[in-house]
Structure 1
Amino acid sequence: MKAFIFPGQGCQKEGMGKDLYENFFQAKELFEKANTLLGRRISDVMFYGTEEELMETQNTQPAVFLYEVILALSQNEIIPDIVSGHSLGEFAALVVNGTITFEDGLHLVVNRALIAQKVCENFDTAMGAVIGLHEEYVFKRINEISKESGEPIYFANYNGPGQVVITGSRKGIRLACKAFKEEGAKRAIPLAIGGSFHSPYMEEAGKELGEIILKTKFSTPKIPICQCVDARIHTNPDKIKKNLIEHITHPVLWTSMVQNMVNWGVNDFFEVGTDDTLQKIVLRMFPNKKVLSLIDIQRYKGKIKNYSL
C-alpha cells in the first residue's frame, strides 16, 4: 500500500513550484486560480521571491500548501491508499483526498496563518528541536525546567524516536535547549519559526479558526487520512473536522502516525514536498520501507524538464 505524506511549514524554498507551472497545464491552472482567489500573485512570490519574502506569514503557509496540493494533483501515475500531513501538511492532505475543496483549503490555510500571526505578536514565543534524547526524558525535563523557571514549555511535535520539537516562551526554549545540550543531546537548537504552534498558547487562535472550519463543508474522503491529533486513520468527515479544529493546540504525533500507517499495511511512502524531511524520519524508523520523493519521481520520468529545487 502507498501513502502520500505532506510536510509542514519550514520546507519553503526560493523558486518553489516554477517547474510545475512550466511543465503541467493543470498546475498552471491551479496557480492562476490561487492568484485570483487571493487577489495577488502568490505564484510570483513562490517563483521569484527571496527567502525573506517566503518567510513572511502571509506567504509561507499558502506557498507550502499550494506547492504540495498542486504537485500531488498534477500527476495521476501514483495513486495513494492513504494520506497524512505533518502539521500544516494536513490541510494539503485533506484537499488531495477530497475531504475539502481546493478553494476551501486555501481559505483555511490563509486564515490559519493570519490568526496564528496575531498570537505570535501577542506573546514572545519560540520553538526548538531536540535530537538524541528519549522523548520521556525530554518530557520530564521540560516540566522540571518550566516549574523551576516559571516559563511555559510544551511538546509540539513527536517527530520520531529521539527527535522532538518543543515550544513555549522564548526564554523557556532557550533555557531548555541549553540544558539539553549539557545533558547529552546531539542537537538542541531554537528553530527559525516564530510562535508557539501546537500548544496552549494557540487556544484563542484555535477557537477563531475553529469557527471557520465549522462553516466549511467536509465531504467523505475518497482516500483515508491519518491525522495529527490522534494518529488514527479516519474516513468520517465529522470526526476529521473535529480533529482539524483541535489540530492547532495539540502536539503532532508523527511518530505514532508513521507506525500506525505501517501497521495498516503501508510499504511505500511518497513525500509530497520540496525536500526529504519526512523521508529521513520514516527511513530511520523503518529502513526496509520504500521511501521516495514525488518530485524526484516526476523528474526521473522526464515529466519535469526545468527542475530547479
Structure 2
Amino acid sequence: MKAFVFPGQGAQFVGMGKDLYETSDIAKELFEKANTILGFRITDLMFNGTDEDLRQTKVTQPAIFLHSVILAKTLGSEFNPDMVAGHSLGEFSALVTANGLSFEDGLTLVYKRALAMQKACEMNPSTMAAILGLPDAKVEEICASITDETVVPANYNCPGQIVISGTNAGIDKACELLKEAGAKRALKLSVGGAFHSPLMNPAKEELEKAINETKFEKPICPIYQNVSTVAETEPETIRKNLIAQLTAPVKWTQSVEHMIADGATEFVELGPGSVLQGLVKKINSTVATSGKQ
C-alpha cells in the first residue's frame, strides 16, 4: 500500500515550484489563482525571492502548501494514495490532495493559520530546540519537571529525535537538564516561536473560528493526523484534530508506525525537501521511500 506524505515548515527553498509553473498549465493556473486569493504574488517570492523572504511564517506556510498540493495535482493518475499524512502544516496539504478540503479553502486556512501563528509569536517571545539521543519518556519527564516556565515536547520526529517548544527561559533550562541527562545534542532552532505548545493558544482561538466556518468533505482515503495518529475519514473528527493541532505535539513517529501497521509499504514525499523520507527510514528501515519536488 502506498502512503503520500507532505512536509511542514522548514522545507522551503528559493526556486521552489518554478519548474512546475514553467512546464505545467495546470500548475500555472493554480499558482496564479493562489496569487489572487492571497492578494500578493507569492510566486515571485517562491521563485526569485531571498531566503529571508521565505523564512517569514506568512510566506513559508502558504509556499510549502502550494508546492506540495500543486505537485500532487500535476501527477494525474500517478497520485493514487491508499493513505496520506502531513507533518504539521503538511496536514493541510494532505487533506486538500485527498479532497477533504477544496484548494481555495485549504490555502485560505493555511494563510490565516500563518498570520495567527506569527501574531502569537510576537505576543510571547519563545522558541524551540531539537533534542537528539534520549528516549521520549526521559524528554517528557524533564520537560514536566520545569514548572516555572512553559516547555513541552512539540514534535516526535523519529526515535531519538524530539523537538521541544516553550518560553526562551524554559528552553534554555530544559536544554541544560537534557544535556546533563545524556542528550547527544540539544540545539536551539532558528524559529519565530513555540509552535505546538500552549503558547499558541491565541492562534488556536483565531484559527478555530475559521476552521469551523469551512466546509470539509470525506477524503478519498484515510488521513493519519498529527494529534490522533490513526486513520481518520470523518469530516468532524478531522476538523477537531486540525484545531487541536496548533497547541498539541506532532506525533509523527506514532503516525508512521500506525500507517505501517495498517499496511503501508511505500512512502512518497510530495513537496520541497526530503526530510520526511529520512524520518520514515529512521522509524522503519524496511519500507520503501521516494519523493518528488
TM-score, normalization: structure 1? 0.92
**Identity within the alignment, %:** 50
State whether structure 2 residue 209 is matched by structure 1 residue 215.
no
d(CA) in 2 for partners of 1:78, 1:267: 16
Q: CA–CA distance in 1 between the matches of 2:38 and 2:206?
A: 20
Stretches of structure 1 that go unaligned for 5 or more consecutive residues are 296-309
Corresponding position of 2:11 = 11
Deviations 1:42-65, CA, capped at 9 Å, x for gaps: 001000000001011221111111
> C-alpha displacement at 1:200, in angstroms?
1.1
Residues 199-210 of structure 1 aligned to structure 2 (within 5 Å): 199-210=197-208
Aligned position for 1:99: 100
Q: How does 1:55-94 map to 2 (within 5 A)?
A: 55-76=55-76, 77-94=78-95
Is structure 2 residue 27 aligned with structure 1 residue 27? Answer: yes
The equivalent residue for 1:277 is 275
Aligned equivalents of 2:98, 2:244: Cα separation in 1: 20
SS across alignment from 1:189: strand
Q: Measured at CA, do residues 57 and 284 of structure 1 come closer, stay the same or move farther in structure 2, by a change above 3 Å?
A: closer
Question: Match for residue 109 of structure 1?
Answer: 110
Name the count of aligned residue pairs.
292
Contact kept, 8 Å, 2:12 with 2:273, in 1: the verdict is no
Structure 2 matches for 1:245-264, cutoff 5 A? 245-264=243-262
SS of corresponding position for 1:14: coil
Deviation at 1:13, TM superposition (A): 0.5
Runs of 4+ displaced beyond 6 Å: none
Which segment drifts farther, 5-14 or 176-185? 176-185
Paired residues of 2:72 and 2:79 also in contact (CA < 8 A): no
Map Cα deviations across residues 215-244 of structure 1 (whole Å, 9 max, x no partner): 000011112101011101111111111111
Q: Secondary structure at the match of 1:98?
A: coil
Match of 2:174 among 173, 176, 189: 176
Per-residue CA deviations over 1:242-276 (Å, capped at 9, x if unaligned) read 11111111111111100000011000000112211
- What is the Cα deviation at residue 102 of structure 1? 0.5
Per-residue deviation, 1:121: 0.7
Residue in structure 1 matched with residue 239 of structure 2 by the alignment: 241
Rounded Cα–Cα distance in structure 1 between residues aligned with 2:202 and 2:41: 30
Paired amino acid for 2:256: V
User: Root-mean-square deviation (CA), in Å?
Assistant: 1.1
Alpha-carbon deviations, 1:11-35, whole Å to 9, x = none?
Answer: 0111111011111111111101101
Asked if the contact 2:99–2:217 (Cα under 8 Å) also holds between the matched residues in 1, the reply is: yes
Supply the AA of the counterpart residue of 1:157: N
Q: Find the aligned partners of 2:239 and 2:31 in 1 and give their Cα distance.
A: 26
User: Quick one: distance in 1 between partners of 2:290 and 2:281?
Assistant: 10
Map Cα deviations across residues 51-81 of structure 1 (whole Å, 9 max, x no partner): 0010112211111111111111111224111
Aligned to 1:306: none
Q: CA deviation at 1:205?
A: 1.6
Letter in 2 for 1:99: G
1:182 positional shift:
3.6
Q: Which amino acid aligns with 1:58?
A: K
| Residue of structure 2 aligned with 1:266, choices 264, 272, 288 | 264
Structure 2: segments with no counterpart, 5+ residues: none
Alignment of 1:288-307 (within 5 A): 288-295=286-293
Give the counterpart letter for 2:222 in structure 1. Answer: P
Aligned counterpart for 1:151 among listed residues 136, 149, 152 = 149
Alignment match, 1:301: none
- 8 A contact 2:281–2:289 mirrored in 1: yes
Distance 2:236 2:150 in 1: 33
TM-score for both structures, normalised by structure 2? 0.97
SS of residue paired to 1:9: coil
1:194 corresponds to: 192
Kindly state the Cα deviation for residue 178 of structure 1 after the two structures are TM-superposed.
Answer: 2.9
Alignment partner of 2:228: what SS? coil
Counterpart of 2:132 in structure 1 is 131
